[in-house]
Amino acid sequence: MSSETHSRDLTVVAMSGGVDSSTVAAMLHESGAPVVGLTMQLWNQRRLPELSPGEAPRQRCCSPDDVYDARRVAEHIGIPHYVVNFERRFEETVIRPFVEDYLAGRTPIPCAACNNHVKFDQLLVTARQIGASRIATGHYARVERNAQTGRYNLFRALDLSKDQSYFLFGLTQEQLAHAEFPLGNLSKQDVREMARRSRLPVAEKPESQEICFVPSGNYTDFIEAYRREVLAAREGPRTTEGEADNWPDPGNEAGELVTISGEVVGRHSGVQHFTVGQRRGLGIAAPRPLYVLEIDADARRVTVGEEKELWRDRLEVRDVNWIAWPALDGPIEATVKIRYRHEPVPARIEPAGAASARVHFEAPQRAITPGQAAVFYRGDEVLGGGWIS
In contact, 191 and 58? CB cutoff 8 Å: no
Beta carbons within 10 angstroms of residue 1's beta carbon: 14
Give the DSSP letter string of 45-95: TTSSGGGSTT-PPPS-TT-HHHHHHHHHHHHHHT--EEEEE-HHHHIIIII
Burial class (CB in 10 A: 0-12, 13-18, 19+), 298: exposed
* 62: annotated active-site residue: no
H/E run at residue 29: helix 19-30
Q: 232 Cβ partners below 8 Å, 6+ apart?
A: none
Q: What span, in angstroms and rounded, lies between the C-alpha atoms of 262 and 304?
A: 10
Specify the DSSP class assigned to residue 204.
T
How far apart are the C-alpha atoms of 57 and 46, rounded to whole Å?
A: 7
The dihedral built from the CA positions of residue 85, 89, 93 and 96, taken in this order, carries a sign that is positive
Residue 111 bears catalytic tag: no
State the Cα–Cα distance between residues 23 and 3, nearest whole angstrom: 18
In degrees rounded to 5, what are phi and psi of residue 117? Answer: -105, -15
Spatial separation of the C-alpha atoms in residues 75 and 325, rounded to whole Å: 42
| Choice among 61, 62, 111, 114 that is catalytic | 114
The CB density around residue 128, as the number of other CB atoms within 10 Å, is 13
> How far apart are the C-alpha atoms of 181 and 167, rounded to whole Å?
13
Active-site entry in 61, 62, 111, 212: 212
Closest CA relative to residue 95, chosen from 299, 103, 318, 263: 103
Active site (catalytic) residues: 114, 212
